[in-house]
Every structure is written in C-alpha cells, then in structure tokens.
Structure 1
Amino acid sequence: MIKNFEYFLMIVEEGSLSKAAEKLYVSQPALSKYLKRLEDETGIELFNHSRSPLSLTYAGEQYLKYISEVDRLDKQMIKELSELKTNKRGRLKIGLALWRSSCILPEILPIFNTRYPDIELTLMEGNSEYLVSNLLKNRMDVCIMNPIATLDYSNLDYEIIMEEKIYLAANRNHHLVSRYSHDTVSNPPYFDVRLIENERLFLTKPGQNLTRILSSMFSKNRMSPAKVLETANLTTAINLVSAGLGFTFIPEAGTKSDLLPPNIMLFTIDQPALTWPLAVFFKKGAYITPTCQNFINTLKEVYAIPSSR
C-alpha cells in the first residue's frame, strides 16, 4: 500500500491539489497521479472530486483517522528509538535474593530512577539457584548475589561490587553483649562467635549463599550450633533478634539501610573478619546494554567504597 501519508494529509489540509503540490514542492500532475494510485489501491474514492475545495468522503474520513494514528505511532517510534540510543529509555530485569531486595533497592533505586526515570524495571527474587537458572535462560539481564566457590559459574561472568563483611547481629540487651558500647553499628568490634554456640541462632535455609559461608565458618571454629531456627528471609531473622530471641548474621550491605532496628548491635566475627564479595552476574558472552551498564555503575558508586568499619 502507498504509505506517503504526508501527501494525503497535505491535500486534506489545503483542499486543493495545486496548493498541496506547491507546499510539498512536487508537480501537480505527480500529486494527482499519487492520489489516483491511492484510490485505485484502496478501491474507493477518498475525496469528493466534484467539489472545490476538495472534501473527504466518508471513506476518506476513516482513512484519515487511520493514517493520523499511524503517523502518530511512527513519530512515537522514532522518538523512542532515539531515546533508547541515548539511554533515556529501556527495560531492565534484575534478579536478587529476597533479603537483598529489601536492603539494596532502597539504596540504589532513588539514585537510578532520578537519573533514568523512563527505564522500566522488573524484579525477580529467589535463592541463588533460582537466580542462576533464570539468568542462563535469558529471563533476566543481571542478578546481584555473592559468588560462592561451591557453585558452578562457568557459564556466567560477574563484576565485583564490594568486599562485604558479614556481621553478627545481637539485641543490645542480651547479657553476652550488654557490656559493649551502643555504637557498634557504626564501628562493630570483634566478638568471639564461639560464645554463642549454645544460643538460639536464626539462620538462612540450606541452599542460600549465606548458609554456605556460615556453615564453613562454623566448621572452621569447630562449632555445632545447638539451637537453630531456619528462615528463607533474613528480614525475619533480624526482627526476631530485635525481639530479643537470639542472634543472626547480616551482610554489610544490609547495615547501610534504615531497615535495621535501632536495638540491634553488630560485631565482626572470625579472624580475619569474615567477608565475601558482592557481585553483579550476567550470562557469559551476553551483550551488556547501556541501560544495564548504567545500573551496574550506580551499584558501584553506592557500594564500591572501602569500608570504614
């Protein structure tokens, strides 16, 4: 079908082939030939040719509605493609562990959304196996998690965002920690983790990365915790500690958030201090879009600062 909508719209606007041809910088015979071909192709007259100025038939009115919408969509498409080229628009699918969402996103998204307000974000949450599986199936662009030596990442690449300490979290009223300064959140002191072997511990479930590294730490310190309550969501564990019911362990990124209850005290554990890397993962060989790279850069800006703790 003839798609030179500008010609048709100008004829409608001017009501005259001669005036429209003048505005379009084409000859009148060429414009007349265009209109005849268009009406032959549609199989119906679009203008009342016996009237002056030219007026639309009912079919012409319907055709005008159609091409006006097509013209609007065409201009919108060009605008959006231009914005994609300049990184003003796009779509990003991010994978995170459940607890990571609650502590990282409040830190990152206000900055990212201010800079890139028209980026459409989709969040996918689950444990490390879920995240890796969906990343490999191209269901997400990146995921944020901790690389663990026991998992196979041969089909993935990743960028380290920060080296993250893992802290012991305690209620400030617990008798084992009551002698410490209340300012342990800003400057966590060392605590001998073996002292809580017989205390109630709230730990993440088997298969979660934090569980793996803590199990290794317990083994190193020849610990066999006697009272363990497992939860898939670290926020639950933190709230139980806040209620004075036991201890848990919190990665450092979570201590930057306002979600940490005020009666929580933090302590470094193990010697040297227990740490693990926090990283952004993507499928090996995958194209990193400008939108994705902007998100990674924002993460690095917020978290890739040497810890002062």
Structure 2
Amino acid sequence: MNKNPEYFKMIVQEGSITKAAEKMFVSQPYLSQYITKLEKELDIKLLNRNKTPLELTEAGKIYYNYLRNSQQLRKKLTLELDSLNYERSTTLNLGFSPWRGSTLLPDILPIFSKKYPKVQLELNEHPANELQNLLKNNKVDLVIVNSSLDVDSDINKEIICYEKIKLVSNKNNEKTKMIKEAVAQKNENPLEIIENERFVLLKKGLLISDMVHDYFENMKIVPKNKIYTTNNTTALNLVSVNMGFGFIVVSSGFINNISENLEFIDLNSEDLTVPLVALYRKDDFLSAATRDFIDITKKHYNLP
C-alpha cells in the first residue's frame, strides 16, 4: 500500500510538504506526487491542504495511526524473536542525564554486556525533559532519570528508588561543622547558617534545581550570592575548592571517585527527596535485554 511510510509521517510531523522534503532529502514536487498517488490509491483525502500547517483529515488520522501501529508491531516481533536468542545482534537505545550516565554506567554496563555480548548499545545523554521527548518520538527505548511522578499518559513509569538531594560542602569550610551540628540537633532550618554564603546551583528549569529553589522558598532562605551551572561535575569541582555550597542527588552506592574534600549532608527534608525512574513507552514490548537492564539497575541500588 505504501512503500515509503516515513514520507507520510515526516509530512505530518513537519506540517508542510516543503519542510518534509528538505528533511527527507527529496524534492518538493516528488513528495507532492507521492501524496497525490497515495490518496488516489486509497481513494480518499488524507491531508487538508487549505490549512497551514497541514492538517490530517479524519481518514488521514486513521492512516497515520495505522502506520504507527504497524511500526510498533514490527518492532515487537523483532524484540520477541530477539528475546529468544541472546546471541542475536540487536541495538538498545538508552537515555540518561549526563550526570547519571557518568556515575551509573561504569558499574552496570560490564554486568549487562557480559550477559548480552551481542547487544549494541547507543547511549543518549540529555536533560530529563529532552529525554522524554526522545522517548515519545521513538528515538530511545528506555530512559533512566530523576523525574516527577507525573509523566505523559503514553509512557510507563517504573520506580527504581527514591534518592535524596543532599547539601554538598567543603570539609575544610568552617561552616560545614556548624551545619552538621545543627542537623544533628534537629534544627528546623540549618541553612540559615549559610544563607549569606555563596551557592553553586544548577540552572533553573532543571528538576533538581527547581526542587532546591522550592526548598529555599519553604525555608524562607534567599541566597544572595549564586553561581549557576548546567553541569553537576562543574558544581562539585567548585565546591571542592571551597567556592561555595551546592546540592547533588545522592543514592546508595553513589560516592565513587568523588573528591575527598567534599561533605554530603542530609538535611532530612521530604522536599529534597526525588524518585529515580525507568521510563518506556506503553505501546512497546520490553525485550528481555531491556527488562534485564532495568533489573540490573535496581539491584545496583540494592532493590529487589
């Protein structure tokens, strides 16, 4: 019926035959002829060309869903066959935040690759919001990320563990001992001690940063001296040379190859607890390799 379904899906995605032609490296007249021929073959209009961007007709919506379902069924068939044969060569696309990838993968990939030596891995490291978009657009198969409990209805969420966002300080900073003592004495607002100190924080808009700022607001803390970064490693390195205080997500089995200058302080607040989750599409069949990757990750965090 349709030898090039990707053409139609790209037209729908771009809302324009011209833009779709550019993305698919074909001419605009060729793509227009493709649509005309397809509509003639099906004997029904698929696109409303009087709208900008182009809109699907009711028939177009049915056909588009048919193409998506066909793609998923073919992928499911391949994965089910792969699950019966560990030696079959296949590719698993994984998504992580840059920090998560650098701290988690060295521990679990050797275990996974030993069991699935023929599985090729493609690692995608992006911020959490970008990873969810990649997942929805079939660019990745599985995402391991800190995420709020609210996700899109077409995505499955499996909780791996709950992690704490801890205050990070330099051990040689004179305020470090004071904060630890305040926490031990169950001071309700230990950050008052360092409110006027410098903070090295993740840029606003990132989940962990937003949670930290909400915590500041709840505690009526208004940091006046701030350095913003998008990179956890940069933040930790700055704290390690006593350039300020920061926050980092910490879980069991975490602190490997971290500077000995750093102190990680649990402020004992529910506001600073965040789930680590595995995300995958609801309409996808999980291969044995994907299922095992999730289970190996859970075991790494000491969960059944």
Band the TM-score falls in, shorter-chain normalisation: 0.5 to 0.7
2:292 pairs with one of 294, 297, 301: 294
User: 1:199–1:179: structure 2 CA closer, same or farther, 3 Å change rule?
Assistant: closer
Contact 2:82-2:287 within 8 A present in 1 as well: no
Amino acid across the alignment from 2:293 = F
Contact 1:162-1:277 within 8 A present in 2 as well: yes
Task: Give the match for residue 170 of structure 1.
Answer: 169
CA distance in 2, matches of 1:113, 1:171: 37
Deviation at 1:194, TM superposition (A): 3.0
Q: RMSD over aligned Cα, in angstroms?
A: 2.8
Give aligned pairs, total: 220
Contact 2:212-2:272 within 8 A present in 1 as well: no
Amino acid across the alignment from 1:159 = E
- After superposition, the C-alpha distances for 1:219-251 in whole angstroms (9 at most, x for unaligned) are 111112111211111011001111111111111
CA distance in 1, matches of 2:216, 2:228: 16
CA distance in 1, matches of 2:87, 2:160: 24
Structure 1 residues not aligned, in runs of 5+: 1-80, 182-186
> Identical aligned pairs, as a percentage?
31
Structure 2 residues not aligned, in runs of 5+: 1-79
Contact 2:253-2:301 within 8 A present in 1 as well: no
TM-score w.r.t. length of structure 1: 0.64
- After superposition, the C-alpha distances for 1:50-85 in whole angstroms (9 at most, x for unaligned) are xxxxxxxxxxxxxxxxxxxxxxxxxxxxxxx98752
- After superposition, the C-alpha distances for 1:84-131 in whole angstroms (9 at most, x for unaligned) are 523344321111111111111122212222222222111111112210
1:231 pairs with one of 229, 232, 246: 229
User: 1:285–1:270: structure 2 CA closer, same or farther, 3 Å change rule?
Assistant: same
CA distance in 2, matches of 1:91, 1:152: 25
Task: Give the match for residue 253 of structure 1.
Answer: 251
Give 1 or 2 for the bigger CA radius of gyration: 1
**Structure 2 counterpart SS, 1:265:** strand
Task: Give the match for residue 125 of structure 2.
Answer: 125
Amino acid across the alignment from 2:171 = R
Contact 1:95-1:123 within 8 A present in 2 as well: yes
**Structure 2 counterpart SS, 1:256:** coil
Contact 2:160-2:303 within 8 A present in 1 as well: no
**Structure 1 counterpart SS, 2:144:** strand
User: 1:216–1:88: structure 2 CA closer, same or farther, 3 Å change rule?
Assistant: farther
CA distance in 2, matches of 1:122, 1:253: 25
Contact 2:170-2:263 within 8 A present in 1 as well: yes
CA distance in 2, matches of 1:116, 1:94: 15
